[in-house]
A and B are shown apart, each in its own frame.
Chain A
Amino acid sequence: MSITSDILRGHTEAIILSHLLEQDSYGYQINKDILKKTNNTYELKEATLYSAFRRLEQAGYIRTYWGDETVGARRRYYAITDEGRKAYQEYKKEWQEAREMIDQLLK
């Protein structure tokens, strides 16, 4: 499990981008989705998640806006930018290459 979570943590940014491709979302929602997609086995630490948000934002891959909830505190939403889409496709390609390579090496 430690290898799994290390690798997953290394791809935090790409995982977030992948989620935002489907729809705009906010921190907790993304983490919930990750938990669901991994059958309740993996969840990002909040600190990891939010520092990844900051990095993506600074790189111009995502943008953020405050939601207009009428009840309770406002949520901060994230949306992927065109640059983010490009970076994601690139990253996905690189990951596929890396995965094939590792599969070859760890037969």
Chain B
Amino acid sequence: MKEKIRQHFNQIFADAPKTRKALDLKQEMVQNAMDKYDDMVADGYSEEDAYQNVIESIGDVSELFTEVEDKNLLTLPEKDRKKKAMLTAAAVGLYIFAGGVFMFFAMFNDIFGSVGVDFASLGFVLAILICIAPTIMLVYAANMYPDYIKKEKTDMVEQYKEVKHSMNKEKAVKRSIDTIIWTMALILYFVFSFATYCWHITWVIFLIAGCIQAIVGLLFALKPEEKHL
């Protein structure tokens, strides 16, 4: 009868990947099945009954082999949450720093206006360059939410968690897109303005940015409808 149990596991693991992990898992499961079988026989069950019970208690093993996701446990790990918060804080700090650099150089212009070097433009270019780093950081932070994947979606709690998670993620993505839109608008505004000196018309860029943001918002509002059951 024990040989039959072994054969059953051989059959189950026939489709499993031939890896060290799968072999270990098989050995572990066979051993535990044997223990269970022994216990049941010792408790007075017939060999046939014990065998049936052992086989039935295995359940659906396909999930064992496809189980590669590692981040679906409980919630977003504390570590990632802290990292995300730090990234965001650092990004905001860098934006402020960039603004400071610009102001600083602009001040130079007032004081040494006669030297003939356009400190304001120089400071502006520096500020823009500094802005690149925090923008990348924000986008990265927004994408740090791991996907919430759970095989069994039978109970309400799981479904709720999943919907909530995808909403959180969407919000984060949308926020970072908004940030990028407005940063780009600001950059383009100054670049165009300094290049053309058409300050009286270039402010239209901000209106365009507003429109783009509204469109992005609409796209996000339309998408979730497929997701909600």
Are A and B genuine complex partners?
yes
**Chain A residues within 8 Å of B, Cβ to Cβ:** 6-7, 9-10, 13-14, 26-28, 31-32, 43, 45-48, 50-51, 54-56, 58-59, 61, 73-76, 86-87, 90-91, 98
Tell yes or no: B110 within 8 A of A by CB.
no
**Please, how many angstroms separate the alpha-carbon atoms of A76 and B152 in the complex?**
27
B74 touches A90 (CB 8 A): yes
Quote the shortest CB–CB distance from A31 to chain B (angstroms). Answer: 8
- 8 additional A-B residue pairs with CB within 8 Å, beyond A48-B59, A75-B32: A7-B155, A27-B32, A28-B31, A50-B25, A50-B29, A55-B67, A55-B69, A87-B74
Within 8 Å CB of A48, what residues of B? 59
A27 touches B29 (CB 8 A): yes
Q: Report which of B33, B57, B78 forms a contact with A43, defined as CB distance below 8 A.
A: B57
Within 8 Å CB of A86, what residues of B? 78
Tell me the total A-B contact number using a CB cutoff of 8 A. Answer: 86
**Please, how many angstroms separate the alpha-carbon atoms of A97 and B226 in the complex?**
31
Tell yes or no: B139 within 8 A of A by CB.
no
Tell yes or no: B129 within 8 A of A by CB.
no
The count of chain B contact residues (Cβ–Cβ below 8 Å) is 34
Quote the shortest CB–CB distance from B203 to chain A (angstroms). Answer: 49
**Please, how many angstroms separate the alpha-carbon atoms of A86 and B64 in the complex?**
26
A45 touches B70 (CB 8 A): no
Q: Report which of A27, A32, A47, A74 forms a contact with B63, defined as CB distance below 8 A.
A: A47
Q: List 29 A-B contacts (CB under 8 A).
A: A6-B155, A7-B155, A7-B157, A9-B155, A10-B157, A13-B73, A28-B36, A45-B57, A45-B58, A45-B60, A46-B57, A46-B59, A47-B61, A47-B64, A48-B59, A50-B28, A50-B29, A51-B64, A54-B64, A55-B69, A55-B73, A58-B70, A58-B73, A61-B73, A75-B31, A76-B24, A86-B78, A87-B73, A90-B74
